[in-house]
Structure 1
Amino acid sequence: MVRQVRRQMLDDGEPVTRARLAAAVQSSGRLLGAEGALRAVDRVQAELQGLGPLQELALLPGISDILVNGPDRVWVDSGHGLELTGLRFGSDTEVQALAARLIAAGGRRLDDSNPCVDVQLRGYRVHAVLRPVSTGSTLLSIRIRRTLTFTLEELQAGGTVDPESAGVLRRMVAARLNFLISGATGTGKTTLLSTLLSLSDPRERLVLVEDAAELDPRHPHVVGLQSRHGNVEGTGSVDQAELVRQALRMRPDRLVVGECRGAEVRELLAAMNTGHDGAGGTIHANSAASVPARLAALGALAGMSSTALNLQAASALDVVVHLGREAAGRRVAEIAVVAASSDGRLLTVPALLPFSSANSHGPGWAALQERLSRGVGNGPAGMRHETLTP
């Protein structure tokens, strides 16, 4: 019956609505009852507009990622590591058909000439890889965008931040310090960034630049720019570096890059160094101490020398907030200040180590307090250049 209704909806060429789905199910001639009819409508809608058999997993609370490694290997991540589910596809052909439909819904094509494709759908980021690029089955990776934005109090109640670090983060936003949130995949960088942006003055204009639109701060004045991949002819792409340049013409009070992952790091650092205070973003790194190396790698993609990158970053950035995944869950593991060493190297000096069993204040604590109390325009120019020892 589901196949019959799906075929009917696709053949008539009319827009697919829930009302039309319900009418098609009712006219199928099957005696389903009210509850059965609702289940049938949901199933057909998932087949036509949703994630198909994976839709039931996407509706589970807390699920952030769905990973299909093969017809009988469907994994999910709900914040406690990957878990194998009992969901099964009939064959790899079914996985490939679902992947091709999702990619097509995002305006791109998945086939032998384009075996690795990612798209943005409403609420999802979908990436697919076909054989033989995939050495096994068709691979499907789905990141679920949750529209819920937490307050800092809610993150504190949930154990992500402790009271002292919550106070520091509030003062960091109020003082309009430039910051990066670092962490590995799935540690909650985007969630924390949305929370911090929600603390911005309501009179400020936030301009968000993202590869995939995921930030959703509770703020009255937010505009977003999202990068675009090339079409099937390979033209029409707009990368994040170009979007940062466009954002600078949009009178941003706070310029935010959702994730620094390429040449846009040069544009962001340049903006921070030319009066755009209160800027921020996220970056993939395993620790706060590894952020300078990560920035150097991204700067190299933009044609920056290590010396130029170090000078730009030391002058532009104030704070790195690092998130870690622990047995107790995702937590703010470190808040560090950014500075230059005496020999010109870029440093992230630990200032606050939340949840530490020992002294939680590190060698950068005094410098952090100075920056928080100074804020924007309250101290002499060039104060970000102070030399610190980790």
Structure 2
Amino acid sequence: MAVDEPRQPRRAVPTDAALAPLAPYLADPEVTDVFVNGAEGLFVDRGRGAEPVAAWRAAEEEVRALAVDLIALGGRHLDDATPCVDVRLEGGLRVHAVLPPVSRGGTLISVRAAAAQAPDLDALQERGMFAARTRELLEALVAERINLLVTGATGAGKTTLLAALLDRVPHTERIVTIEDVAELRLRHPHHVRLEARQPNLEGAGSVPLARLVREALRMRPDRLVVGECRGEEVRELLTALNTGHHGGAGTLHAGGIDEVPARLEALGALAGMDERAVARQVGSAIGCIVHVARGGDGVRRVVGMARPVLTGGALSLDEVPR
């Protein structure tokens, strides 16, 4: 595999041999994502969208071997029986790999690189994520222990914003975060992290998010946070936030803030909840929804805030002026 040198390699990257072909790109502090699309090439995202790396050369066999090695580095196995795997590596790296024939164009590798230092609210404001008035509202949500849901598309900055908000939690409070793959990195001194576990090769030993939410309730959290609701764990989160756990939070994939009610209803259906039950639970559990989006200029911004309300028994949103 041929590589070229990126600009200003400053991010600390684990020295494992498996990462060597990608290390020059991951070390660049501007790079947020690295993609390998089989033998078709390598792309990096420095905040301006995916850009091809002309000097990259690798055959499909080399890319597959790289994917297998990276997944093994995270303690999991990638093969024809398990062709799609997601792992977390040291240094804040998250690796996802897909093998053919699930991926039609060859082995696919996606690596998300965490920032060298997680930005705080000051840094996010300087980057244009929100103006002063919106910042006041966000800080008030934390100070007043309002349960909040941060929504947005992939790469919009949901986790980054949530981490910056949680850093504002008083240090006397205990934060318990629950994630499928641990990504939230907080500077808070009392942060307890729980991470879901996938089943082993025999299909046993899994610990899903829904169970971890129940376990976390026994850990006396002052702030209960679910890194991302993707399925039936939304029921446990809403139940927890409806039983006196104030100041909790979660993130949710949604293309626009107006899509959030439908997304919550869809997840609730996976947990056996009808639309009316979801609406009543969300209306009483979630105090504010904060939606973030990445613009064409690459800047991630808070583009909407709203309160969930019940309208004729259905879930709707009441916009919060900013």
* Both structures adopt the same fold (TM-score exceeding 0.5): yes
1:154 and 2:127 are equivalent in the alignment:
no
Of 87, 90, 96, which aligns to 1:127?
Answer: 96
SS at 2:48 equivalent = coil
Offset of 1:52 from its aligned partner? 2.4
Offset of 1:147 from its aligned partner? 5.1
For residues 85-121 of structure 1, the C-alpha deviation after alignment (integer angstroms, 9 at most, x for no partner) is 2242331111011111111122222222222222222
Partner of 2:74: 106
Of 89, 95, 113, which aligns to 1:144?
Answer: 113
Amino acid in structure 1 at the alignment position of 2:70: L
Assess, with a 3 A threshold, how the Cα gap between structure 1 residues 157 and 90 changes in structure 2: closer, same or farther.
closer
Which structure carries more helix by proportion?
Answer: 1
Offset of 1:205 from its aligned partner? 0.4
SS at 1:321 equivalent = strand
Of 331, 336, 348, which aligns to 2:301?
Answer: 331
SS at 1:71 equivalent = helix
| TM-score for the superposition, normalised by structure 2 | 0.92
Amino acid in structure 2 at the alignment position of 1:124: L
Q: Taking every aligned residue pair, what percent have the same amino acid on both sides?
A: 50
1:96 and 2:68 are equivalent in the alignment:
no
Partner of 1:63: 31
1:73 and 2:9 are equivalent in the alignment:
no
Offset of 1:327 from its aligned partner? 3.3
Measured on the aligned residues, the alpha-carbon RMSD in Å equals 1.7
Contact 2:18 2:69 in 1 (8 A): no
Larger-Rg structure: 1
Partner of 1:166: 135
Contact 1:71 1:88 in 2 (8 A): no
1:258-277 superposed matches below 5 A:
258-277=227-246
Offset of 1:146 from its aligned partner? 2.8
For residues 153-197 of structure 1, the C-alpha deviation after alignment (integer angstroms, 9 at most, x for no partner) is 221111111000000011111000011011111111100000000
1:168-183 superposed matches below 5 A:
168-183=137-152
1:350-389 superposed matches below 5 A:
350-353=319-322
SS at 2:320 equivalent = strand
| TM-score for the superposition, normalised by structure 1 | 0.76
**Aligned partners of 1:272, 1:258: CA distance in 2, in Å?**
15
- Runs of 4+ off more than 3 Å: none
Gaps of 5+ in 1: 1-41, 354-390
SS at 1:352 equivalent = coil
Contact 2:142 2:169 in 1 (8 A): yes
Of 86, 94, 97, which aligns to 2:54?
Answer: 86
**Aligned partners of 1:49, 1:226: CA distance in 2, in Å?**
26
1:151-300 superposed matches below 5 A:
151-300=120-269
**Aligned partners of 2:32, 2:294: CA distance in 1, in Å?**
14
Offset of 1:291 from its aligned partner? 0.7
Amino acid in structure 2 at the alignment position of 1:296: E
Greater RCO, 1 or 2 (C-alpha within 8 Å, sep 6+): 2
1:9-48 superposed matches below 5 A:
46=15, 48=16
Gaps of 5+ in 2: 1-11
Greater Cα offset, 321-330 or 171-180: 321-330
